[in-house]
Homo-oligomer: A and B are copies of this chain.
């Protein structure tokens, strides 16, 4: 049986590229494996796949009972197919906090590390094999790391992520600043997306003080494109929250180059969250949060209601 390798339901570059990387490695080690997607990748992931000559993996909506799977870049059942606990989970490779809820039928290989990127961990786990990977696989790993670290600007970046990215770039003869700029430009091209799509593109739900918050992040080098749509984005939040069973959508527009986030403030609840969580002084329908770039490291730990 072919093992299916996939990330989470809102595929960014890491959740699109890492499954392709690990499927290559498993195949290389004699285990028949193929990558899958659980949703439509963002524009950066599309650019990266094309740049390194890959077709996008097929999108699947669920997994069969007993299907062999490897889960990467998440351990959260809410971000995985509904039937995941009836699949035959072979391994989990992740860099997020343990959420609880996934169960396995027997002992399996679980490797979670506090690194910025799944691909960094995969590079480590491959040992000597990483050096023998085809250029296209190395290119995907480099892209995943640059994406997740926002070219080493994100506070989630560790020295390991940086060293491995620099080694990969040197192997490939890729100039990191200019390649990262191309990636971020691709990610910033969000004109084709509806407001609801933008609000859900890179979004995770969290319970904070009894409220369900959908915490959405848009990382961009061109925040103006998004902020020009501020009014309609804020109007769309009510519907998105209702449809997704959340109390409120929080949209953080992260300016990668200025290293700051703009939080949209549609109502008193979000105003209060901005003030209590980030000590921000809110005056109007948005607020700039200097230095805030990482949901995992800066936004979620700070959220108070």
- Residues of chain A whose beta carbon lies under 8 Å from any beta carbon of chain B: 89, 92, 94-115, 296-297, 301
Contact = CB atoms under 8 A, between A and B. Distances in A.
B110 A98 contact: yes
Contact of A104 (B89, B97, B105, B108): B97
A109 B100 contact: no
Nearest to A297: B106
Contacts of A111: 110-112
B100 A107 contact: no
Contacts of A105: 97, 301
Given A100-B100, A100-B102, A110 B107 contact: no
A88 to B, nearest CB: 12
Contact of A296 (B94, B99, B106): B106
A107 B97 CA distance: 4
A96 B107 CA distance: 5
B104 A101 contact: no
Contacts of A114: 106-109
Contacts of A109: 112-114
Nearest to A98: B104
Given A97-B104, A108-B114, A110-B112, 18 more contacts: A92-B98, A94-B107, A95-B107, A97-B103, A97-B106, A97-B107, A98-B104, A98-B110, A99-B103, A100-B100, A100-B101, A105-B301, A106-B296, A106-B297, A107-B113, A107-B114, A107-B115, A109-B113
Complex A-B, nearest 10 residue pairs according to Cβ-Cβ distance, in ascending order: A110-B112, A107-B114, A98-B104, A97-B104, A100-B103, A100-B100, A97-B106, A100-B101, A97-B107, A95-B107
A115 B106 CA distance: 11
